[in-house]
Structure formats: C-alpha cells, structure tokens
Amino acid sequence: MKKIYPDARAALDGLTFDGMTVMSGGFGLCGIPENLIAALRDSGVKDITVISNNAGVDDFGLGLLLQTRQIKKMISSYVGENKEFERQYLSGELELEFNPQGTLAERCRAGGAGIPGFYTKTGVGTLIAEGKEHKEFDGETYIMETGLVADLSIVKAWKADEQGNLVFRKTARNFNPMMATAGKFTVAEVEEIVPLGSLDPDCIHTPGVYVQRLIKGDHEKRVEQRTVRQRETA
C-alpha cells in the first residue's frame, strides 16, 4: 500500500466529514501540521471537535479554522495566545473543554493504546474533578480520566521513510507521537521523505503502523516568541 500522497488536499480526500473529531499535533506553533490544517480549512468541513494542546494564533495554525467558524468544540490545555478564540468562547459560539496538559497527553496516549480510562492525581479538588469518579490508592485520592481517540489525527514530523516511520526534531515532537497513535486515520506531514533503509531503525520515534498517509509539506515554521540574547561585543 502506498502511503505517500502528492499534497495535503489529496491526503485528506475521503477522510473528512461534518461533526468529526480531529487531533492536531503541536505545542504553540511548534511542530504543528500547518499544511494539513490549511487543507482542512479548504475542505470546508464543519462542526469539528478539535483536540489540540493550543489553538494557534489568530492568523496561523488552528486560528485559521476559528476564523472560518469550522470548529464547534476545542479540547485544549491553554488557549491564551488566541484573541479570536477568547472572543468566540466568551460569546458562547465555541465550546471548550480544558484538560490539564499532562492529562490531555495521557488521554491521547491511552486512547491510542486501547486503554479506555486511567486514574491521576492531577486536578483532584479542582473544577476538573467535578463529576469524575474518585478512587483511593494507598491513601491518596485520584480521579478517573478517559482515553481519547479521533476520527482523524494530523501530525507533523521532521523526516519519514516511505513506510511512514517518523522521526521528530527537538521540541517539535510534543503531542505528535501520541496523537499519531490515537487517530482512526493518521495523516503525517514531514519536511523530508527519505528512502527505505536511510532511517536508523533504533531511532524511529513513531513506527509506520500508526501512519496511513504521508505528505511532504512546505513549512513556514512561524516563531511565536522570538527571545534572544546579545553577544558581548569585544
């Protein structure tokens, strides 16, 4: 089976439908599947539930899908960089479910691993715990969280081979590996597709079994907060 598709639009063909759930990798604007997000926008699919740690910024990343009102609900841990998000949420146009970041990561990992629920200390005694099962282990209270799966996961990696084995780069890895495992279909976009045998099998982060379709994208890789130090002049 050939996994490589010519472009993002072709890679999403037949995978989108109104009311679907989409996982989108990335942390802030780092390691986001920018080509696939744009293709999702262009597909016109509506009422999407998006699972993503963040919501992009107003004019890039998932912010593009907020501008066009294609998102019905977000499951995220932090959305502070996006003014349009805040406006749509406060006016009641957008549903929002906040998850603690580690709980969100683990829910994706669990979903992809066939684990329907797990217990965590995170959020005990807070709003997050309301309505959730509480259970004691060794005198400590934990709450139950459920695994997450998606109709479609879109992820960004650095390199892939033709089998869809993925390698990520630096902190652009973030949520991508777990989300790749938790999609009924997973589409990956990468900076480079290399021939079979050129990735070290010991250094593959995401095995190709999780990746159904693959594209090589062009990446703007926008920097959200450029922080630098000055060289001391001699």
Partner 1 sequence: MAQEVKGWDRNQMAERAAKELEDGFYVNLGIGIPTLVANYIPDGVDVTLQSENGMLGMGPFPYDDEVDPDLINAGKQTITELRRTSYFSSADSFAMIRGGHIDLSILGAMEVSENGDLANWMIPGKMVKGMGGAMDLVAGVKRVVVVMDHASKSGDPKLLHECSLPLTGQQVVDMVITNLGVFEIERGKGMKLTELAPGVTIDDVKAQTEAAFDVAV
| Contacting positions for partner 1 (CB under 8 A) | 27-31, 53, 76-81, 86, 89-90, 96, 98, 100-106, 108-109, 120-128, 158, 168-178, 205, 221-231
Provide, rounded to whole angstroms, the least separation between the CB of residue 3 and partner 1: 22
Provide, rounded to whole angstroms, the least separation between the CB of residue 11 and partner 1: 22
- Name beta bridge partners: 152: 22, 185
Comparing CB distances to partner 1, the nearer of 91 and 198 is 91
Provide, rounded to whole angstroms, the least separation between the CB of residue 125 and partner 1: 3
Buried b / exposed e along 72-104 (16+ C-beta atoms within 10 A): eebbbbebebbebbeebbeeeebeeebbbbebb
**DSSP letters spanning 105-163:** HHHHHHHHTT--EEEESTTTTSGGGTTS-EEEETTEEEEEEE---EEEEEEEEEEEETT
Provide, rounded to whole angstroms, the least separation between the CB of residue 41 and partner 1: 21
Comparing CB distances to partner 1, the nearer of 157 and 187 is 157
- Name beta bridge partners: 115: none
Comparing CB distances to partner 1, the nearer of 63 and 123 is 123
Residue 159 · residue 191 · CB < 8 Å: yes
Tokens of 166: 């993925």
Provide, rounded to whole angstroms, the least separation between the CB of residue 134 and partner 1: 12
Place of tokens 């890039």: 60
Comparing CB distances to partner 1, the nearer of 48 and 128 is 128
Between the CA of residue 229 and those of 15, 36, 226, 232, what are the distances in Å?
45, 34, 10, 9
Comparing CB distances to partner 1, the nearer of 162 and 224 is 224
Provide, rounded to whole angstroms, the least separation between the CB of residue 175 and partner 1: 5
CA distance 202 to 180: 19
Sign of CA dihedral 166, 171, 176, 177: positive
Comparing CB distances to partner 1, the nearer of 20 and 128 is 128
Provide, rounded to whole angstroms, the least separation between the CB of residue 48 and partner 1: 19
Comparing CB distances to partner 1, the nearer of 67 and 120 is 120
